Amino acid sequence: MFDKFKKDEGGEMTGERSSGEYANIKSGGISSNETVGEIGIVELMDKRAKLEEAIDYVGLMIKNLKDKRTVLEKDIEEESVDIKNLKEKLEKVSQYIEEENRGIKELAHKRQQVESEADEVGSLINSLRDRLSGIDRIIDNEGNRVKKIKESRESL
């Protein structure tokens, strides 16, 4: 199961011993294959080799997890920088909008002033027109009197 994660470094147990090698192991004065098999040293060594493989596998998993965490930390940092940049841009947009709103208010105030002046000019024009109409009536009246006077002279 863990064969693909075995280390091939010199001097380290990899769990690849043949049963012949285990038969040659001498431990505590035991020299026969039967005695070694009865005590269970071969099985114990097989278990140890498998445990070493499992430990290597777990170590590789831990390394992979650390690598993934490092990538995630880097991605999060990049996102953080991007978000900070976006926030700065949005703050600048907000400032621009505030400046534009102030400019619009100033324009609205100037328009009101111009509109007030236009109303004053309109009132002056109406007043002058009324005065000119009054003068025109006076001239018409005087013209009619002059005509009547001429007509009355001519009829005489």
14, 10, 16, 41: which is closest to 27 by C-alpha? 41
5-57: per-residue pLDDT in tens?
444 434 344 444 444 444 444 444 444 555 555 677 889 999 999 999 999 99
pLDDT band (50, 70, 90) for residue 153: confident
On the question of pLDDT at 4 being above 90, the answer is: no
CA atoms within 13 A on the CB side of 111: 6
Q: Name which of 51, 68, 41, 55 is nearest 15 in CA terms.
A: 51
What's residue 35's pLDDT? Answer: 58
Distances (CA, A) of 12 to 7, 17, 51, 110, 124: 8, 12, 13, 90, 110
